[in-house]
Structure 1
């Protein structure tokens, strides 16, 4: 019995000792708290006034403990909060000639108010303004850093940068804007020079990942034996020639952002398998590493190849194709939207005039007709090269003329010359012939309907069909 009582006594003593240690720790924390702090009981009498508040008020802690808060703190409302239980956040309080920002919060125990705690976050409004100014300056510096980083990485293009007014390009831009808001992978399809990279930038910059730079890699431009280290990085000493501190891969750099895999059709099959694992597991492991890192990366891939055909021929993994082809966007070639050539040309002239310090106002009608007749196998990139070439061979002219274009484009001008040399009657006959052909096609060869639509007799229609040798 004695031993049992002794054990209870020792246990109680140990518990009290622990409570005293905890109490001293809490007191020490409050006493040395950076901000001014006061604690009052439910009557408004001061229980705790920490060093920061004592120093500011010019009082001694031992002298103020037990006093009513109104006797010690000017314009205080601590006793009111302790009575009403309504917290007050961000209240302006005038103390000793200073406007202070104070928080007052009631303290509850078992559902009843037992007091209140108050803190002074800023000793005066000037102190608050200093913090606000500092944060504002930091935000501006951060925004500037992001903008400069995006410029350095060439990621400053938006949908406004994609020039064109044709229906085909508008549809593609509308679809791209819609998918930009999602997290799904995107596959951009199109011939070389159609602007796949421009669309990748625009999609990224219209997404929620815009605060982070777009990470780009051209799968065709990197030798196969280096592609893995570029994509996934490596640890120190992973192979001969590895950097001392190792190197993060493009996927690590693209965490929380977007990675643009250009020329994805050129990726070797063994790398396709590793890429598939990264997409499935959402983690990446460096060469020579023993741990994996979780990543959140959106993939925008691009190719000018027929991936479906490559899948059939076992040159591209089917499972990877379906992982990448969640949303596919086909960018039309320039020859299918020739109505965009004038507006694209104007934009290029404006850009090159600034870059090359050579003012050019426009393109002559004859030169523009040639540009419209050409098939543009190199698409917009080829058009840019042709206009840049014109800038280089021009003297002081302010307009791009026919002679400033390469021969392989101007040789198609013969058709245009033939049209200009036709008589007015020939031109009108051609127009009449085309309208009759269109109307016959619309009525599926029904001559009675065609004659009625055109407002002529059926006999006149037969004569014109025979005159123009129209096949029905």
Structure 2
């Protein structure tokens, strides 16, 4: 039963008003005080008995309550000089049953100090809210366009042109390529060039989220779905990405149990939160990416065939860096521009000798490895020119020793008394040969160090120790 305010005793209402944050005064059309709170009287240095029934101008210095009671025009957040200080006042016309009967005045801050004290308390919360709002909005926008995809090699241009051509489509896209080749940049660029560009771009790394959390992350949950669930429930990333694009990176690492749920979402275009019965419609374009061989995983039964075909509507293969050596100088120059901002440097460039050394390497870590090499070089650089001496030891050795034959056309001649190349100490010669074998094995294994160790028939521990010794990343 709703009793209403009439059933609250008058003394209760008066105490509620006195306890409120604001000081209150009420005047009639003639500006006569009909009510004033005890807290306001305490501030004014008067009493309720004295003030009630008097004209407001006699009680409150510089008041405008009588004016608002006549004009019916509200005055909000007005600065009111009083008692040698300034306060913030709100004045509202009182209209009852369509008739202007008086005015209500409230004072929240009695002086600037009280206002500043309040601001000091609330400002950090506002700044924090602004930070997360900006961060949220920034993270849901694509950061890269096709102009950020650097390269002119035939293999790379084919992939880039295909991505540009299909960006306006609504079909699912599957990006294939080794780690560090720039699959996420392609996903950003496709979204940025699509009709969904003004809507969210939501990246999810399927390998970085624990299996038991992945479902709630993707599809959300209802209030009370499990112990510790956020009150009111939580939207999943598919709902956050509605009308936009969701990028499922490392899709090959998604558990089989989640694959079937993802398939349902792609087929039905709706999601169901954990602990809920209701279905939510979603309109999302899916871009998936992986460095794994999904076709082999389908054969092995570790990836659903129906999901593979659902994702593999448009397949784009991004070539590794070792297959686009002619792009290395362009990519390196672009990375240096980015690193200049990070290190507050200008005019950084690579010497011809350094570029030639970079082009000799097989780059199992692709562009990510190249960026790490350049960052390391800047850290030890005094001037502006990155030379061979600023590169890691394994790149220097490769340039000086490992590829001398191919670079200079010289040959080893082991006939007695005749050597076309300076003879090195045996220990150094063995180290060079060992390092070359390790690099060749890593290259052959496509960057998979465990497989490279098996190919060389040595233990993983020994392999990693040798990689550390020779600074092989």
The TM-score with structure 1 as length reference comes to 0.57
Deviations 1:11-41 (A, max 9, x none): xxxxxxxxxxxxxxxxxxxxxxxxxxxxxxx
What does residue 340 of structure 2 align with? 353
Matched, 1:295 2:282: yes
What does residue 395 of structure 2 align with? 409
What does residue 45 of structure 2 align with? none
What does residue 181 of structure 1 align with? 168
CA contact (8 A) 1:358 1:391 kept: no
CA contact (8 A) 1:204 1:210 kept: yes
Consecutive unaligned residues in structure 2, runs of 5 or more: 1-132, 411-473
What does residue 250 of structure 1 align with? 237
Of the two, which has the highest radius of gyration?
1
Matched, 1:370 2:327: no
Trace 1:320-399 onto structure 2 (pairs within 5 A). 320-394=307-381, 396-399=382-385
Task: Return the alpha-carbon distance in structure 1 between the equivalents of residues 141 and 266 of structure 2.
Answer: 25
CA contact (8 A) 1:364 1:399 kept: yes
CA contact (8 A) 1:360 1:400 kept: no
Task: Return the alpha-carbon distance in structure 2 between the equivalents of residues 333 and 250 of structure 1.
Answer: 30
What does residue 123 of structure 2 align with? none
RMSD, aligned α-carbons: 2.0
Matched, 1:274 2:222: no
Consecutive unaligned residues in structure 1, runs of 5 or more: 1-145, 424-472
Deviations 1:271-322 (A, max 9, x none): 0010011111110011111110111111000000000000000000000000
What does residue 93 of structure 2 align with? none
* Cα distance change of structure 1 residues 363 and 318 upon mapping to structure 2, 3 Å threshold: same
Deviations 1:138-157 (A, max 9, x none): xxxxxxxx998663346220
* Cα distance change of structure 1 residues 285 and 421 upon mapping to structure 2, 3 Å threshold: closer
Task: Return the alpha-carbon distance in structure 1 between the equivalents of residues 217 and 134 of structure 2.
Answer: 25
Count of paired positions: 278
Trace 1:389-468 onto structure 2 (pairs within 5 A). 389-394=376-381, 396-413=382-399, 414=401, 417-418=404-405
Task: Return the alpha-carbon distance in structure 1 between the equivalents of residues 168 and 204 of structure 2.
Answer: 22
What does residue 299 of structure 2 align with? 312
Task: Return the alpha-carbon distance in structure 2 between the equivalents of residues 251 and 258 of structure 1.
Answer: 9
The 4+ residue runs of structure 1 with deviation greater than 2 A are 146-154, 358-361, 414-423
Task: Return the alpha-carbon distance in structure 1 between the equivalents of residues 271 and 162 of structure 2.
Answer: 31
1:225 to partner: Cα distance: 0.3
1:209 to partner: Cα distance: 0.2
The TM-score with structure 2 as length reference comes to 0.57
